[in-house]
């Protein structure tokens, strides 16, 4: 057993038992971050704060929400929105944060792709991040079921139908998932459980993994420069803060993070109070009705690009393309054959690939929402083919990439 002495202070008492000084040093003050970064490096903190908002607002909503097909709609739209003091505030924070968190996730992902922060030892950061993306997607989808409005019901119907696998006609699997022939009480209970317990647990674990994955390869920087963190840290600690290429996580990096968080929160709360409609589809303010299909069924904006990869093809081809779109981002570190971990602007054809991918996904997103008719179908089809084509081209163009 370790030797304990009589504590001189509470700090000392805790320190002997929990090594809080060491923890603080390792996790905060001497956790080194490159100095050569821009505000995009703060997206991780913005995501952490937004997740915190989702968690806290979710806990409040959970106190009044009723996971029952007869009560769910009114428990949200009447009890929470109108009876409970400030229930509307928690719901709007929850709804808007659920949408905004995906905007930040996409910015975070494209930042990683642009600066090559997924290779040369950083593969696990990328993969754990993609796992988080999948977990957040499942969390968003299951949460969308809970108000039991028209869009909840019909999106639940459409998405669970995908598991029939087209021509495979695995209807038994679909019924097994739903616990019924159509979305009903069993379905709502299951998605409620997933939304408030299982998936949040997975997200918390994955956030730990994501942070842990950063530890050894360290955070990337704006020029993809390989930094000798030990030497630079020594330089910093000896007093040459300006000359060192690294900064402390706390307070140096945190100060910049909080500046970005502060500005982000202005936008966020503006949306919460004055522009929440984009995150809360009007159709979902009609109670679920299994006998009345809405004129347009579409997922929330962050799923539209993958939905549009499903839509323009025949059922089976569409499902294969959809499955491809769901997993292909995981393979990015291995499909990019170039050893260059520098910004896309210095990577020749990859630069073109990056901007094409970004624009193509925005086009897919737009086409995923509009009715699949006429010119929109054609644009959607070509955008989906471009998406697949870009991934096929990636190993080829990166293989021939010159050393930067």
Partner 1 sequence: MKELLILAVVTFFTLVTYYLVEPFAHSQMHKHIESEGFAYKDIPALTKKGDATRGADLVAANCTGCHGIEKAGMPAPMDPVSAAQSFGVNPPDLSNAGTVFDAKFLAALIKDPAKALMVEHKFDPAKGKMHPMVPFYGAGGDLDQEVADMVAYLQSIAPKQEELTPAMAFETACGRCHAIHYPYNKDGKLHAAWTQIGEKPAFKKKQDELAFEQKVLDYQDALKKYMGTLPPDLSMYIRSRGEHYIKTFVENPQNYLKGTAMPRVGVSAESAEKVIEHLEDVGDSKRHERESVGRYVMIYIIIFAIFAILWKKEVWRDLH
Residue ranges in contact with partner 1 by CB under 8 A: 35, 38-40, 74, 77-78, 81-82, 86, 88-89, 92, 103, 107, 241-242, 247, 251-252, 255-256, 258-259, 261-263, 265-266, 269-270, 272-274, 278, 280, 282-287, 295-296, 301, 304, 358, 362, 365-366, 369-371, 376
Choose between 72 and 213: whose C-beta lies nearer to partner 1.
72
Residue linked to tokens 């901007």: 355
Choose between 136 and 213: whose C-beta lies nearer to partner 1.
136
Q: Which residues are bridge partners to 206 per DSSP?
A: none
Q: Minimum distance from CB of 342 to partner 1 (Å)? A: 16
The tokens for 196 are 């408030």
Per DSSP, the residues of 10-44 read HHHHHHHHH-HHHHHIIIIIT-EEES---GGGGHH
Choose between 2 and 375: whose C-beta lies nearer to partner 1.
375
Query: Which distant-in-sequence residues (6+ apart) come within 8 Å of 183 by Cβ?
Result: 145, 153, 156, 157, 160, 288, 290
Residue linked to tokens 């910015």: 107
Q: Minimum distance from CB of 52 to partner 1 (Å)? A: 15
Choose between 45 and 209: whose C-beta lies nearer to partner 1.
45
Q: Minimum distance from CB of 107 to partner 1 (Å)? A: 6
The tokens for 294 are 């809405």
Choose between 92 and 195: whose C-beta lies nearer to partner 1.
92
Helix (H, G, I), strand (E, B) or coil at 182: coil
Q: Minimum distance from CB of 298 to partner 1 (Å)? A: 8
Q: Minimum distance from CB of 147 to partner 1 (Å)? A: 11
Q: What are phi and psi of 148, to 5 degrees?
A: 50, 45
Rounded-to-integer distance, Cα 279 and Cα 272, Å: 9
Choose between 53 and 177: whose C-beta lies nearer to partner 1.
53
Choose between 154 and 174: whose C-beta lies nearer to partner 1.
154
Q: From the DSSP assignment, how many helices (H) and strands (E) are in the chain? A: 17, 2
Is there a cis peptide before residue 251, judged by omega within 30 degrees of 0?
yes
Q: Which residues are bridge partners to 198 per DSSP?
A: none
């Amino acid at each position: 057993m370790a030797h304990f002495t009589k504590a001189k202070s509470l700090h000392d008492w805790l320190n002997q038992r929990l090594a809080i000084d060491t923890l603080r040093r390792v996790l905060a003050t001497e956790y080194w971050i490159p100095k050569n970064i821009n505000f995009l490096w703060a997206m991780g903190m913005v995501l952490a704060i937004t997740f915190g908002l989702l968690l806290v607002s979710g806990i409040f909503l959970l106190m009044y929400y009723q996971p029952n097909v007869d009560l769910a709609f009114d428990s949200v739209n009447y009890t929470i929105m109108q009876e409970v003091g400030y229930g509307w505030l928690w719901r709007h924070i929850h709804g808007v944060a659920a949408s905004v968190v995906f905007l930040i996730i996409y910015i975070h992902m494209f930042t990683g792709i642009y600066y090559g922060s997924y290779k040369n030892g950083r593969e696990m950061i990328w993969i754990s991040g993609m796992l988080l993306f999948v977990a957040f997607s499942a969390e968003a989808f299951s949460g969308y079921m809970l108000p039991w409005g028209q869009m909840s019901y019909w999106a639940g119907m459409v998405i669970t139908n995908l598991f029939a696998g087209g021509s495979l006609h695995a209807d038994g699997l679909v019924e097994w998932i739903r616990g019924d022939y159509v979305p009903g009480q069993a379905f709502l209970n299951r998605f409620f459980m997933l939304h408030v317990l299982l998936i949040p647990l997975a997200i918390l674990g994955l956030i730990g993994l994501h942070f842990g994955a950063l530890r050894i390869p360290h955070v990337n920087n704006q020029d993809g420069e390989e930094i000798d963190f030990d030497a630079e840290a020594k330089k910093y600690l000896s007093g040459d803060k300006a000359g060192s290429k690294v900064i402390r996580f706390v307070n140096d990096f945190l100060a910049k993070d909080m500046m970005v968080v502060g500005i982000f929160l202005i936008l966020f709360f503006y949306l919460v109070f004055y522009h929440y409609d984009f995150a809360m589809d009007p159709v979902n303010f009609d109670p679920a009705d299994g006998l009345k299909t809405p004129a347009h069924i579409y997922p929330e904006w962050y799923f539209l690009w993958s939905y549009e990869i499903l839509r323009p093809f025949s059922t089976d081809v569409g499902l294969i393309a959809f499955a491809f779109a769901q997993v292909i981002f995981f393979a990015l570190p291995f499909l990019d054959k170039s050893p260059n971990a520098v910004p896309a602007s210095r990577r020749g054809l990859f630069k073109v690939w990056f901007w094409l991918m970004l624009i193509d996904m925005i086009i897919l997103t737009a086409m995923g929402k509009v009715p699949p008719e006429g010119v929109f179908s054609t644009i959607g089809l070509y955008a989906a083919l471009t998406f697949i084509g870009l991934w096929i081209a990636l190993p080829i163009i990166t293989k021939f990439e010159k050393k930067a």
